[in-house]
Amino acid sequence: MKKTVTVFRGDGIGPEITDAVLRVLDAAGAELDYEVYNVGAKEYDLHGALISDEAFASMERNKVLLKSPITTPVGKGFRSLNVFLRKKYDLYANIRPAKSNHAVKTPFEDVDIVIFRENTEDLYVGVEEQIDADTVYATKIITRKASQRICRDAFEYARAHGRRKVTCVHKANILKMSDGLFRDVFYQVRADYPEIEADDKIVDNVSMQMVMHPQQFDVMVMPNLYGDMLSDLASGLIGGLGLLPSSNLGEEYAMFEAVHGSAPDIAGKGIANPTAFLWSACMMLEYLGQMECAARIRRSVDKVLEEKLYNTPDIGGKATTKEFVDEIIRKL
Ligand code: NAI
């Protein structure tokens, strides 16, 4: 039986890559039906809500969301819809796999890192307070419960996928209580996974080590802010944001999205790379048990990337989004 999923088309390059991905899913014979909604600033201007009630209802019915990027104003305006969705649906585990693809040349080889980013707290609770005209406080929240579940998910993933090591990333030398709690919980959880190597490193050192010796890292687990930054760094190691997918998982809901944003600098030009979003859709298919369909799409994308004839400009090619997708579909 077909599974119905909710799709948010987002803005910037969101609509272009959404249409591209849905074409590939259909061509690959994914057992899916879609409920597609426009969301974001344009939707607000037209109908007075960033996300309509119907779109929320669809998400709550289907429990699975394929979401393309949404623009968030900097410094003023509404809070991030992404942060809001992760919090509202308790999508606490943000999983971001960054793996070298030999078809995309970078100075770094054999990178194979899976980042587990805690997705619901830390500085992203968005609690800021104006103390006086020249002083603002921002609140960082770390709880035992949220730390436990993300650390457990990282070790469970390592066990299920035969990975050798889990590294905890923190700043507990300065943030002794908050990041100290995260690190303590990491080692408590680790006691149940004695066969998996575990270590911890301070986030500034990790930033340098990931650039100097990225191959030393395997599964990594960290609070929200470090996960946000280091996963963009990881995307740089494998050829850019156009290649980094993600899943956001909770106990009841799941959301799949590319790590990149709405890329306003290239929106409407027809040159966005849909690979990260396509791989996010593959993670969704795998989550739904449609392994063979996901594998076919992955093989086809790999072949097109490898041939280099239809790659988009961000990874050194000259093709448009449409030409890239047409070729993927031809190869399916
Ligand atoms: P961005 O990820 O949109 O773009 C960074 C750079 O990477 C740009 O030069 C862009 O052209 C390039 N890029 C990103 N995705 C690409 C793709 N698929 N193909 C080719 N090139 C690609 O980050 P930026 O510019 O900081 O953010 C733009 C907006 O997106 C902001 O409003 C931000 O808040 C929002 N954003 C939304 C996210 C989401 O919806 N999950 C995540 C990150 C940012």
Q: Is pLDDT at 116 greater than 70 in this prediction? A: yes
d(CA 72, CA 85): 13
Q: Is pLDDT at 77 greater than 70 in this prediction? A: no
> Is residue 124 among the annotated active site residues?
yes
Which of 38, 260, 305, 322 gets mutated to test ligand 1 (max ligand atoms within 8 A of its CB)? 260
pLDDT of residue 48: 85
If DSSP codes are grouped into helix, strand and coil, which group holds residue 233? helix
* Fold: same for 1-94+241-332 and 107-238: yes
d(CA 276, CA 283): 11
Q: Is pLDDT at 225 greater than 80 in this prediction? A: yes
Lowest mean pLDDT, pick from 45-59, 108-122, 137-151, 195-209: 45-59
Q: Identify each DSSP E strand in the chain by its residue range.
A: 3-8, 32-37, 64-67, 93-99, 112-118, 128-132, 135-138, 165-170, 197-202, 219-222, 245-249, 254-258
Q: What are the pLDDT digits (tens) for 128-142?
A: 999 999 999 999 999
Nearest atom, ligand 1, residue 276 CA: 18
Of the chain, the percentage scoring pLDDT greater than 90 comes to: 88
pLDDT category of residue 78 using cuts at 50, 70 and 90: low
Domains of the chain by residue range: 1-94+241-332, 107-238
User: How many Å lie between the centroid of ligand 1 and the Cα of residue 181?
Assistant: 32
pLDDT of residue 76: 65
Show the tokens assigned to 56: 């929320």
User: How many Å lie between the centroid of ligand 1 and the Cα of residue 257?
Assistant: 12
Which of 78, 241, 273, 318 gets mutated to test ligand 1 (max ligand atoms within 8 A of its CB)? 241
On whether the CB atoms of residues 170 and 178 are closer than 8 A, the answer is: no
User: How many Å lie between the centroid of ligand 1 and the Cα of residue 84?
Assistant: 18
pLDDT of residue 80: 80
Q: Is pLDDT at 273 greater than 90 in this prediction? A: yes
pLDDT category of residue 45 using cuts at 50, 70 and 90: confident
Is the Cβ atom of 65 under 6 angstroms away from ligand 1?
Answer: no
pLDDT category of residue 246 using cuts at 50, 70 and 90: very high
The CATH number corresponding to 1-94+241-332 among 3.40.718.10, 3.30.450.90, 3.30.1050.10, 3.40.50.720 equals: 3.40.718.10
Mean pLDDT of the chain: 95
Q: Is the pTM of this model over 0.95?
A: no
On whether the CB atoms of residues 196 and 154 are closer than 8 A, the answer is: no
Is the Cβ atom of 267 under 6 angstroms away from ligand 1?
Answer: no
Q: 107-238: what fold?
A: Isopropylmalate Dehydrogenase (3.40.718)
